[in-house]
Structure 1
Amino acid sequence: MDAQLEQIREQQKETWNKFSAGWRKWDDFTMHWLRPMGEEIIGALDLQPTDVVLDVAAGTGEPGLTIAGLVPNGKVVITDLAEQMLAVARDNAAKKGITNYETLVCDVSELPFADASFDAVSCRFGFMFFPDMLLAAREMVRVLKPGGKLAAAVWSVPEKNFWITAIMSTISHHMQLPAPPPGAPGMFRCGSPGFLAGLFRQAGLHNVAEQEVTGTLNCGTHEDYWRFMNEVAAPVVFALSKADEATREKIRQEVFALLDEKLPGKTTSLPYGTVVVSGTK
């Protein structure tokens, strides 16, 4: 990996370790929200009770810990760049009495496993942030056994994700945010139809399938939404850290007004769109 990509990787590690406290605080809420994408991944993997499964960029442990319950005679290796996120995963496993798992801090571009080590590989909302996505896909395929399946979820296009564009578009109206370099990691980097499926095919997978999963982020109140985004969403926190108090308050009020305008029934249920792609080695 070249120096620029290594720098991106280190920035990712620092960011996710920094935000681990917010993810711990909101973990039950966030995991409930993201469960449908985990379920779609699990369905695509066609798991067997004895399977050994790799969960990449697992953060606080899902869908890996759920998968562990489905492979009672196998195990799950849960990996992430950020040790502090994996600490939350271990606590979650202890609470649920899950023991057939292990955690490992590692880089998806250099997976420390032998070829054909796993029966299945899962990755929920990791691909968008990998410095070299094709290299990551090829590494996952390398450690997958012949006939094994890889399944991953990514965010769809911005137009289908009002839960994040509501606040980021308002911030952009008030602040001059630096444009990311072309191809830089970002939430919607894999959102175009067929993009991730194409990567999977390039990495050597066949029977590649793409499924859209949509739903809503149900926050209850506008204040809860604002608090959640300010404690979990790195782009929001980064942008607002550059704003003075008056600008922050103006942005907050305009976000609330936008929510009132766009949401039916004035409930803080914001739509999201995702894509789940799977393939077989």
Structure 2
Amino acid sequence: MNPNKALWEKGDFTRIAVNMRESGAALVAKLGIAKGLNVLDLGCGDGTTAIPAAKLGATVLGVDIASNLVKAGNSRAKAEGLTNCTFQEGDATDLHDLKDQSFDLLITFFGAMFAPKPMDVAKEMVRVTKPGGRIVMGNWIPGDPTLVAQVLKVSSAYTPPPPEGFVSPMLWGIEQHVTERFVNAGVAAENISFAKETFTFNAPYSPTELVSIFRNYYGPTMNAFDVAEKNGKAMELQQELEVLFNSQNKSITADTSSIPATFLWVTVKR
């Protein structure tokens, strides 16, 4: 089993994604999507950004390595009556099913950054995007004090060191590394730009309950708890995450969650 595939098929990321819909649609609204645009959403999950893009009139293909999320995405598109939005399984490191220069816009919000072999990922993204098109990435930032970067940091502290040669997905959140990868893929450095944006997780339940959702359904957090339980540290990890989630909650009511997370917005002009 591909370790990356196993990670994202573990649990059920749709339980996290349901709290990402509002921000996903808001991000897509900034992309200038119009009818007739051919869009690839890479590492699409169950369609948090793919479905809003299709609702704006684009023809959207969502590609994800997790078969359960592809199935969920197709079910959502069908339920919405979106014949212009389809999902299929694929690996961001090798998009062999997709032809060169096929897409006007490639988007990947917190998706392709988790694939291994980042140089290959950048090359594939550039390859399938049309000249004159755009690649837009949203990537979590290492060391950032907001939610997701801290969840991943806390989780990694409870798991064994990664294998030799492992490249952290968080390096996609550092401008220098992003530039290096796309320049290596043939993009001029002046065609790569960056901004900081905010993504908000909104949930109709408390931050403590949101921790439970991450514990039970989010692959990286599930792996951390698996190891922590074996080492007698599960309660310690639980408490650390509860403090984090509660301290960052901006909701005015205790029984709902509204937790912002800062990310790096990358725009590549093809």
TM-score (norm 2): 0.82
Match of 1:52 among 11, 27, 38: 38
Q: In structure 2, how many angstroms separate the alpha carbons of the residues matched to 1:181 and 1:190?
A: 19
Q: Quote the offset at 1:60 in angstroms.
A: 0.7
User: Which residue does 1:203 correspond to in 2?
Assistant: 185
Q: Give the equivalent residue in structure 2 for 1:86.
A: 70
**What SS class does the counterpart of residue 54 from structure 1 fall into?**
strand
Residues 151, 216 of structure 1: CA spacing in aligned structure 2 closer, same or farther, 3 A cutoff?
closer
Other-structure match for 2:88: 104
Matching residue within 93, 102, 110 for 1:125: 110
Partner Cα separation in structure 2 for residue 64 and residue 170 of structure 1: 28
CA drift of 1:14 comes to: 1.6
Distance in 2 between residues matched to 1:261 and 1:64, nearest whole Å: 31
Which consecutive unaligned segments of at least 5 residues does structure 1 have?
1-6
Instruction: Check conservation: 2:248, 2:259, Cα contact below 8 A.
Output: no
Shift of residue 103, structure 1, vs aligned partner: 1.9
* AA aligned opposite 2:214: M
Change (3 A) 1:221 1:183: farther
Q: Does 1:279 align with 2:268?
A: yes
| Structure 1 position 214, deviation (Å) | 2.3
Q: Find the aligned partners of 1:261 and 1:59 in 2 and give their Cα distance.
A: 28
Pair 241,143 (structure 1): closer, same or farther in 2 beyond 3 Å: same
- Counterpart Cα distance in 2 of 1:137 and 1:88: 26
Q: How does 1:169-184 map to 2 (within 5 A)?
A: 169=154, 172=157, 175=158, 177-181=159-163, 184=166
Larger proportion of helix: 1
Match of 1:30 in 2: 20
Aligned residues: 262
| Gaps in structure 2 of 5+ consecutive residues | none
Q: Is the 8 A contact 1:125 1:153 kept in 2?
A: yes
CA 1:16 to 1:259, structure 2 compared with 1: closer, same or farther past 3 Å? closer
Aligned residues: percent identity? 23
Q: Is residue 36–residue 213 contact of structure 1 (8 Å, CA) maintained in 2?
A: no
- Counterpart in the other structure of 2:55: 69
Cα displacement (A) at 1:128: 2.3
* Separation of aligned partners in 1, 2:6 and 2:246: 35
Q: In structure 2, what is the equivalent of residue 224 of structure 1?
A: 209
Post-superposition offset of 1:213: 0.6
CA shift, 1:167, in A, is 8.1
User: 1:12 and 2:4 equivalent?
Assistant: yes
Name which of structure 1's ranges 255-264 and 53-62 shifts more when overlaid on structure 2: 255-264
Cα deviation code 1:225-261 (max 9, x no counterpart): 2212212332221121133496323433454456666
Cα RMSD over matched residues?
A: 3.0
User: SS of the residue aligned with 2:137?
Assistant: strand
